[in-house]
Structure 1
Amino acid sequence: MKQNSQLSDVLHVLLHMAEGDGPATSETLAAAMQTNPVVLRRLMTGLREAGLVASSKGHGGGWVLCCPLDHITLRDVHEALGAPAFVSLGFREDRPQCLVAQAVNDALGVAVRDAEALLLRRLGAVTLAALSQDFHRRLGSHRDTERRHLLEEHRHAD
């Protein structure tokens, strides 16, 4: 079964937008997502309707964030995408006559609802600002590692 990566894809794009100096074109953002600009625009429609992003056409146009990063939670983004189900457990029958199947469906249904409720609470506690801070921490660490490697190479060359 193919996993739905829309939330991850859109969060990736939103962080790219936050790091940019101005509007980002659909083509640029689609390249970051490794997809077609039409797919990107389709995903961004819900975010625009939720007031998280805006777009403008023409020279100098593109997508921009409408809110500060600390005002946008991962849950907000998930809901703007139409709140797709996180857990995709299926039932053998939706409305079974069999009492065993009814017991199984009830148990699985409760577990799925509980898991999704917990996940939504956690997503509601994480903002795009927190993701941006984590990115910058990782970037700094990456640059430090690269500097150390360059210094080691330079020492070995002497």
Structure 2
Amino acid sequence: MHSLTMLARWGDHSLTSAEIAESLASNPVLVRRILGSLRDAGLVRSTEGRGGGWTLARPPREITLYEAYAAVEAGPVLSRHPHPPSAECEVGRNMERLLEVEFREAERAMEERLGRTTIQHLVQQVLAGEQERAHLAG
């Protein structure tokens, strides 16, 4: 989401993975791995060579936080039991089923919430935050 917001903010030119990694205080190799997943999901594209780098593949108002999340995270948000509990215990017999309902509802709520926010929303909030910061420093 950070990378996508950066690309949207400076949409008039591409950014290298090193530039994005600097903002993330991270490693360019890790950033390239994440950007590769975003590219596979159709959210970014890359160009090779001099002046190359990463750009958004779609307008930021059309990319939701849920799409970004789903592109880089595999599997359910909430972890399930790694092995079945005891069928001999009344709690064990019921817990997986009960928690599965709760976990599915929580994950659906997260999907819905992240699906309402776009990368453009984040850019607008970044710019508003910078205006406020400049005003307070002024």
- Under a length normalisation based on structure 1, what TM-score does the superposition of the two structures give? 0.78
What residue number does 1:18 align with? 8
* Distance across 2 between alignment mates of 1:133 and 1:122: 18
* Distance across 2 between alignment mates of 1:101 and 1:129: 46
Deviation string for 1:63-96 (max 9, x for gaps)?
00111111000111112114443223x4373364
| 3-state DSSP of counterpart to 1:93 | coil
What's the % identity of the aligned pairs?
32
What residue number does 1:91 align with? 81
8 Å contact 1:27–1:37 — kept in the other structure? yes
* Distance across 2 between alignment mates of 1:44 and 1:122: 23
Residue 102 of structure 1 and its aligned partner are, at CA, apart by: 2.3
| 3-state DSSP of counterpart to 2:45 | strand
Residue 32 of structure 1 and its aligned partner are, at CA, apart by: 1.4
Residue 136 of structure 1 and its aligned partner are, at CA, apart by: 1.3
Deviation string for 1:97-128 (max 9, x for gaps)?
23421211111111111100011011111111
Structure number with larger C-alpha Rg = 1
Deviation string for 1:38-83 (max 9, x for gaps)?
1111111121112110011211000001111110001111121144
| 3-state DSSP of counterpart to 1:85 | coil
* Distance across 2 between alignment mates of 1:37 and 1:141: 31
8 Å contact 1:26–1:40 — kept in the other structure? yes
8 Å contact 1:18–1:65 — kept in the other structure? yes
State yes or no: 1:33 paired with 2:21.
Answer: no
Structure 2 residue ranges without an equivalent (≥5): none
Question: Aligned match of 2:57 in 62, 66, 84?
Answer: 66
Question: Aligned match of 1:110 in 94, 101, 105?
Answer: 101
Higher relative contact order (CA 8 A, sep 6+): 2
Aligned length: 136
8 Å contact 2:20–2:31 — kept in the other structure? yes
Residue 137 of structure 1 and its aligned partner are, at CA, apart by: 1.2
* Distance across 2 between alignment mates of 1:96 and 1:118: 30
8 Å contact 2:64–2:115 — kept in the other structure? yes
